[in-house]
């Protein structure tokens, strides 16, 4: 009886994971475009056209994903092609001002992420340098203190400069 229950539970679990799920993650940037339609000044007709394009692209993604005759590389190539075509069709629907806003919103996020990574790297370098100074100048406390102060002031300047650049974006 116990084996039968375990088998039934395993069968139920596998069948629930095998269900088709909607392909929501493929066009997250299109979802942002639709959600923030007021910011991008999108009319209702443009919005309806974009939603129709997104539904068609979603069906295409699912069809490519279910095709067992395609290799992983070929599936990736076709998915990139579908994404490119979707982007191109949306660009045709948007006017110049809307297209400019949409393309620059992604660029700003990219630069902010890069600056965040540089800030983390700067902090790691600072901590490594402080440990190195403590190791190398342990015989002279005054010299070690001066070296630490110099490094700390340099760290603060660099950090402030990066934060100002980040605030620019």
pLDDT score for 18: 63
Which residues lie closer than 8 Å to 121 by C-beta, 6 or more apart?
Answer: none
How many Cβ atoms from other residues are within 10 Å of residue 114's Cβ? 13
Which tens digit of pLDDT belongs to each residue from 77-133?
999 999 899 888 988 888 888 888 777 766 667 778 888 899 999 999 999 999 999
Q: How many domains does the chain have?
A: 2
How many Cβ atoms from other residues are within 10 Å of residue 98's Cβ? 20
**In-domain check, residue 25:** yes
pLDDT score for 103: 74
What pTM did the predictor assign?
Answer: 0.47
Which tens digit of pLDDT belongs to each residue from 134-143?
999 989 999 9
Same domain? For 90 and 68 the reply is yes
Same domain? For 134 and 166 the reply is yes
Same domain? For 82 and 40 the reply is yes
Statement: residue 32 has pLDDT above 80:
no
Which tens digit of pLDDT belongs to each residue from 143-166?
999 999 999 999 999 999 988 888
Same domain? For 28 and 90 the reply is yes
Instruction: From 24, 26, 25, 44, select the one nearest 34 (Cα to Cα).
Output: 44
Q: Round to whole Å and give the CA distance between 34 and 46.
A: 10
Same domain? For 90 and 25 the reply is yes
pLDDT score for 115: 87
**In-domain check, residue 149:** yes
Domain edge (last residue) among 94, 118, 133: 94
Statement: residue 33 has pLDDT above 60:
yes
For the segment 74-78, the average pLDDT, to the nearest whole number, is 90
Domain edge (last residue) among 71, 94, 117: 94
Q: Which residue has the tokens 């800030």?
A: 119
Q: Which residue has the tokens 């799920």?
A: 21
Q: Round to whole Å and give the CA distance between 57 and 54.
A: 5
Contact 122, 159 (CB under 8 A): yes
Contact 60, 82 (CB under 8 A): yes
Which of the two residues, 169 and 75, has the higher pLDDT score? 75
**In-domain check, residue 10:** no
Would you say how long the chain is, in residues?
Answer: 169
Q: Give the DSSP letter string of 9-29.
A: HHHHHHHHHTS-----GGGHH
Range of the domain at 35: 21-94
Q: Round to whole Å and give the CA distance between 107 and 111.
A: 6
**In-domain check, residue 8:** no
pLDDT score for 169: 64
**In-domain check, residue 112:** yes
Same domain? For 90 and 132 the reply is no
Which tens digit of pLDDT belongs to each residue from 48-57?
888 888 889 9
**In-domain check, residue 26:** yes
Q: Round to whole Å and give the CA distance between 111 and 106.
A: 9
pLDDT score for 134: 93
**In-domain check, residue 12:** no
**In-domain check, residue 3:** no
Domain edge (last residue) among 68, 94, 120: 94
């Amino acid at each position: 009886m116990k084996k039968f229950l375990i088998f039934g539970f395993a069968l139920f679990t596998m069948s629930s994971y095998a269900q088709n799920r909607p392909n929501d993650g493929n066009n997250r940037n299109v979802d942002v475009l639709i959600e923030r339609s007021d910011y991008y000044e999108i009319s209702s007709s443009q919005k309806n056209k974009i939603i129709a394009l997104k539904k068609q692209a979603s069906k295409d993604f699912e069809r490519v994903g279910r095709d067992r005759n395609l290799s992983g590389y070929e599936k990736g190539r076709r998915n990139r092609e579908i994404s490119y075509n979707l982007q191109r069709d949306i660009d045709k629907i948007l006017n110049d001002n809307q297209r400019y806003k949409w393309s620059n919103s992604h660029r700003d996020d990219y630069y902010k992420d890069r600056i965040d990574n540089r800030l983390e790297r700067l902090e790691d370098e600072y901590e490594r340098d402080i440990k190195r100074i403590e190791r190398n100048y342990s015989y002279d406390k005054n010299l070690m203190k001066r070296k630490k102060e110099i490094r700390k002031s340099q760290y603060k300047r660099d950090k402030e400069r990066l934060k100002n650049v980040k605030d620019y974006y």
